[in-house]
Amino acid sequence: MRTTASDENFVDDYLPALLAQASHLISSEFHQVVKAHRMTVSEWRVLASLAGGKALSTSQLALVSVTKGPTATRLLDRLVDRDLAQRLADSSDRRLTLIRITPKGQKTVSRLIALAREHERRVLEPFGLEQAEQLKTILHRLIQLHWRVGDAPGDSSEV
């Protein structure tokens, strides 16, 4: 691991800053595609998180889609109104509401998922398959190690 002797260029080698910068740059490229398909970035994140049909609680969905809770709730209202997602009662806990993608939502997001996979391929291509898989494995492990029940995206500063 590289280290710098000075705090002057701290963020140049600080993992959270590097992850945030990489995420912002790579995501911004694909967000142009999302917007061209008349979808907001938040809608894309939520529908992509629901793709495949697994039902999630609103708090789980907010966490995996990196959306603040109140924003997720308003967004879900719009997606439900457009028949892209549906709310369901949890069979084991009636107090809990689950969110699931509808067939119309799945069809809508499937087109973008194919484009997202192509974008990801282009981003990772310079590193080769082995390094790309290592990077993803490391990121999955970082997430697993730092995931805490009750975490809410956007509750703390990222850098």
Which residue in 98, 67, 95 sits closest to 85, CA to CA? 98
Other C-beta atoms closer than 10 Å to the C-beta of 101 total: 25
Query: Closest Cα partner for 44 from 68, 83, 79, 73?
Result: 79
- What tens digit of pLDDT does each residue of 97-156 get? 899 999 999 999 999 999 999 999 999 999 999 999 999 999 999 988 987 655 544 433
Contacts of 13 (CB under 8 A, 6+ apart): 2, 3, 4
Longest dimension (CA), the chain: 56
> Quick one: pLDDT band at residue 158, thresholds 50, 70, 90?
very low
More confident residue, 61 or 4: 61
For 82, other C-beta atoms within 10 Å of its C-beta total 13
pTM of the model: 0.81
User: Which numeric CATH code is attached to 13-146?
Assistant: 1.10.10.10
Mean pLDDT value across residues 69-94: 89
Q: Which of 147, 67, 102, 84 is nearest to 59 (CA)?
A: 67
At 26-68, the pLDDT tens digits run 999 999 999 999 999 999 999 999 999 889 988 889 888 988 8
Q: Tell me, what's the pLDDT at 3? A: 56
Q: Give me the residue spans of the domains in the chain.
A: 13-146
